[in-house]
Amino acid sequence: MYTCIQHSHVADNLLHDATSNPETLIFCSQTLRSKVQRDFEELPSEAFRQLRDSLNNLLKKFHKGPAIVRTQISIAVAALAVHVPAEDWGDGGIVNWLRDGMNAHPEYIPGFLELLTVLPEEAFNYKIAARPERRRQFEKELTSQMEIALNILTACLSISELKEQVLEAFASWLRLKHGIPGSVLATHPLVLTALSSLNCDILSEASVNVVSELIHYTASGSSGGVSVQMPLIQVIVPQVMSLQAQLRDSSKDDEDVKAIARLFADMGDSYVELIATGSNEAMMIVNALLEVASLPEFDIASMTFNFWHNLQVILTKRNFDISFGDEASIETERNRRLQVFRQSYESLVSLVSSRVQYPDDYQNLSYEDLKEFKQTRYAVADVLTDAASVLGGDTTLQILYMKLVEAVSSCRNEQSEWRPAEAALFCIRAISNYVSVVEANVMPQVMDLLSKLPHQPQLLQTVCLIVGAYSKWLDAAPSGFSKLPLVIDILMRGMRTSEDSAAAAALAFRHICDDCRKKLCAYCKQLFHIYYTAVNGEGSFKGSAEDSLHLVEALSMVITELPPEPAKDALEELCSSVVTPLQEVINQGPEVLEKKHARELTVYIDRFAYIFRYVNHPGAVADAVHRLWPIFKAIFDLRAWDMRTMESLCRACKYAVRTSGRFMGITIGAMLEEIQGLYQQHHQPCFLYLSSEVIKIFGSDPSCASYLKNMIEALFKHTTCLLTTIKEFTRRPDIGDDCFLLASRCIRYCPQLFIPSSIFPALVDCAMIGITVQHREASNSILTFLSDIFDLAKSSKGEQFLSIRDSVIIPRGATITRILVASLTGALPSSRLETVAYALLALTRAYGMQALEWAKESVSLIPLAAVKEVERIRFLQALSDAASGADVNVLMIPVEELSDVCRRNRTVQEIVQGALKPLELNLVPVP
């Protein structure tokens, strides 16, 4: 506390010192602002007036600048106003105090205007360590003083050099969204000044900000909405529409055009429901928005994209406005509207499709520029899907096909202009989900054109992607499957051309095998040839090992469609291509296998994972795993120290277990025995993760009970010995994560093995130690595990074990509650509030009044300096209501407020955590 006062005092003195240089003034003003925001509570109560008067003097001193210093001081005064109730400022709060200051000292008006501007902004500044209740009260104080503030601003309009500053302050007050009637604002001098300023030769940024805020204000729920604000809307819209001609004015600079475009975009977003009626007035706004969309600068044109999306949602939604009467009338009105906007969306497709073309210098683009170009393409793709929703995919395809034909005519060899064709194909790919799978007019011609295009790498990548995007069409359209040889040739070319085209080709191959799998069963030999050529070819496949997995997945999906015997043979052939290189390594002896780089093994093991995941023939996969087990065991035995290899192998085993289930038979026993032994030596988290999958499949099988019980007891016993402190949880978060995921699985699938076991109490103690680990996944897994215990009564399997659960939880209940309350109030990041709150709620539902007493004890540990009695009562009441069946969301607001209060600054947070001591498991509550 002393340090805070000292820092504030030094900063204040230096700001008053006439000899301080600009750098010192800036630093000290920022320090003072920060101290008032975060540490005001640490000042003695009598310090308020002295601080207010000092800040007032500084505001006067710096009324002409430097601007940055004046702004920091204004924010400090506003923060002080957030902390201190209105009555402490004298008659009517800070706005009246401000008005009196301006009347008494008109020479300091610029400084006071700055304060008037920041006041509403600081109402929503969570850097200010104010309590939620006080923050709400401050907002009410400001809204009640809105009329006084606007009167001050209106009076200041007479000083012409302050007009921009006055309008900026007005825009700031409008953000409060306080319900001033539209009829009042429509004739208000501030509004009329802002609107008239739009037509000045030099566009006023402040007037644009005001009009933008007015548009948002008229559409906000708190202002009564569009119907109530219609008088104001009728004033705003014509003024903004009068600016349309300036969009085409070459004398206007980019910033002015951007400002005008922003107003049109704001109108579109705010009045989209009105525009969706398709009236003549609405179509004028739509045409203006099309004009904005046609502007060459993408950052300006894209301002309209949100409007086109929202309009599409309204035009196509099924639950249409009930005011149109019966279903037939609703459908008629929907179709009328779709027809009205048809031409606009057709124009939009033509306008945006040219924006995705690669720039001339694309090869020299920086990483950031390339990233921006890709984001532009994604944004345009979204607009095209919006258009396809309104027009229908086939109509949109027709428009884009005409662009493709035009582009292809100038694209005859690799040196020629390939970029327009690539852009058209990118757009056609974007709408693939909207095009009919039996479309017969355009798609056959598109497919024929693909093979005639040059092999330029970017173009070929997009060609491959479009093949994949239309895989359902290849399967379903009358002429689709006949195009398959042609597209396979294209994909093979893509695999050999570049890394990007190979990745696209492999992905497309997977899509084709997925969607055409039944028809492709007769072509297994040819598919294996493609696979071997690509994956085992002499360096011909340019893709990565991850890309080759798409090819493995593709074959696996076709094998799934084969009858059992042919499937078994095909699976064996697919596995053998992966086994051979692994077997060669193993044959070279243990030393070689141990020293291999993980990547040299995982590239093959990952293929097994994909085979076991996607070949849906449980018996055949189980047989394959049984044959492969000696290879897997050799890798387990010699590479258990290597996390990457173990994660890859456990993933393959997980999918084998998931696909084969009970067919795994004897192999599962050997697998579990292996990982149980190795876990105790090497502590690999993935062994726990694999065990979770086994519990899910075999947990309820009585014949496995004895074995599984021994396994989970051994794994958990070893884990609780590893994780004895929060430091160990922090050092090994993955073990904590996978351990408690496994524990939750045990509660769901085999509570009869887990809850009566001797390890259950030790694991609850271990969870209590780790709740506050900062690692997100580990913390969430622990909290979910505890919630699952508390919710045991919800499970039919778990209900019989409630007495055992209670014997473990009740003696620990007060401590668990204290740790959860500590987690809510600062021990865990605020992003975890929902998960922690649910655990606390589940505990309270399980133990009723007893749990509420625990919560009361925990909250009462927090000193009143940090949390007031009324804040405690509100939190406990909400917890009680939620436990009694009220909506869970009822609990979240008081939880967020308690969290906010306890985190409002570092000092308070330290006080709260010091009182709750979440890391002390045997704290005796203070009476």
pLDDT at 649 over 90: yes
What pLDDT is stored for residue 415 in this prediction? 55
Taking the C-alpha atoms of residue 155 and residue 822, their distance in angstroms, rounded to an integer, is 52
CA 499 to chain centre: 30
Burial call 565-590: b when 16+ CB within 10 Å, e when fewer: eebbebbeebbebbbeebbebbeeee
Provide the CB-side half-sphere exposure for 241 (13 A, CA). Answer: 13
Return the top range by mean pLDDT from 115-129, 586-600, 726-740. 726-740
CB 180 within 8 A of CB 232: no
Tens of pLDDT, residue by residue over 228-272, are 888 899 999 999 999 998 888 887 888 889 999 999 999 999 999
* The pLDDT of residue 182: 79
Q: What is the mean pLDDT of residues 68-73?
A: 88
- Nearest Cα to 427, choosing from 395, 449, 403, 445? 403
DSSP 261-277: HHHHHHHHHHTHHHHTT
**pLDDT, average across residues 576-595:** 89
Between residues 846 and 253, the one the model is more confident about: 846
Percent of the chain with pLDDT over 70: 96
Find all residues with CB under 8 Å of 734, minimum gap 6, and list them: 685, 778
Rounded-to-integer distance, Cα 112 and Cα 100, Å: 11
pTM: 0.85
Six-digit token pair at 426? 């990118």
Round to whole Å and give the CA distance between 149 and 143. 9
Spatial neighbors of 664 by CB under 8 A, at least 6 apart, are 622, 625, 656, 657, 671
Measure the CA–CA gap between 695 and 743, rounded to whole angstroms.
10
Helix (H, G, I), strand (E, B) or coil at 150: helix
Residue identified by tokens 């958990």 is: 716
Each residue of 552-568: pLDDT tens digit?
999 999 999 999 999 99
CB–CB of 262/299 below 8 Å?
A: no
pLDDT at 321: 56
Q: Is 105 helix (H, G, I), strand (E, B) or coil?
A: coil
What average pLDDT does this structure show over 288-313? 95
The reported pLDDT for the residue numbered 874 is 92
Distance in angstroms (rounded) separating the CA atoms of residues 854 and 844: 9
Residue 926 has pLDDT above 50, yes or no: no
pLDDT of residue 826 exceeding 90, the answer is yes
CB 746 within 8 A of CB 754: yes
CA dist 497 and 414 (Å) reads 13
Residue 176 CB neighbours (<10 A): 20
Q: Exposed e or buried b for every residue in 195-214, given b needs 16+ CB within 10 A?
A: bebbeeeebbebbbbbbbbb
Q: Report the distance separating Cα 727 and Cα 724, nearest Å.
A: 8
Would you list the domain boundaries of the chain?
A: 1-178, 436-558, 562-664
| pLDDT at 416 (0 to 100) | 59
Distance (Å, whole) CA 686 – CA 648: 9
Residue among 492, 588, 478, 591 nearest 542 (CA):
492
According to the model, what pLDDT value does residue 922 have? 63
Left, alpha or beta for 204 (phi > 0: left; psi -120 to 50: alpha)?
beta
- Is the preceding peptide bond at 66 cis, omega within 30 degrees of 0? yes
User: In this predicted model, what pLDDT tens digit does every residue of 848-858 receive, in sequence order?
Assistant: 999 999 999 99
Q: Quick one: 294 exposed, middle or buried, by C-beta within 10 A (0-12, 13-18, 19+)?
A: middle
Contact 578, 612 (CB under 8 A): no
In which band, very low, low, confident or very high, does the pLDDT at 764 lie, cut at 50, 70 and 90?
very high
* Contact between residue 470 and residue 516 where contact means Cβ atoms under 8 Å apart: no
Residue whose tokens read 């969309």: 293
Q: Are 407 and 423 in contact (CB under 8 A)?
A: yes
Quickly count: other Cβ atoms within 10 Å of residue 5's Cβ: 15
Confidence of residue 704 (pLDDT cuts 50, 70, 90): confident
- The pLDDT of residue 179 is 66
Task: Please say if the pLDDT value at position 18 is more than 80.
Answer: no
Over the chain, what is the mean pLDDT? Answer: 89
Token pair belonging to 743: 């524990």
pLDDT at 923 > cutoff 50: no
Do 771 and 823 meet the contact criterion of CB atoms below 8 Å apart? yes
Most confident of 543-552, 592-601, 801-810: 801-810
pLDDT at 142 over 60: yes
* Residue 926 C-beta-side C-alpha neighbours within 13 Å: 9
* Burial (Cβ within 10 Å: 0-12, 13-18, ≥19) of residue 869: exposed
Quick check: 467 pLDDT over 90? yes
C-beta atoms surrounding 802 within 10 Å: 14
pLDDT in tens, 49-58: 888 888 888 8
Q: Find out whether 615 and 559 touch, Cβ atoms under 8 Å.
A: yes
- Residues near 226 by beta carbon (within 8 Å), at least 6 away in sequence: 218, 219, 233, 271, 273, 274
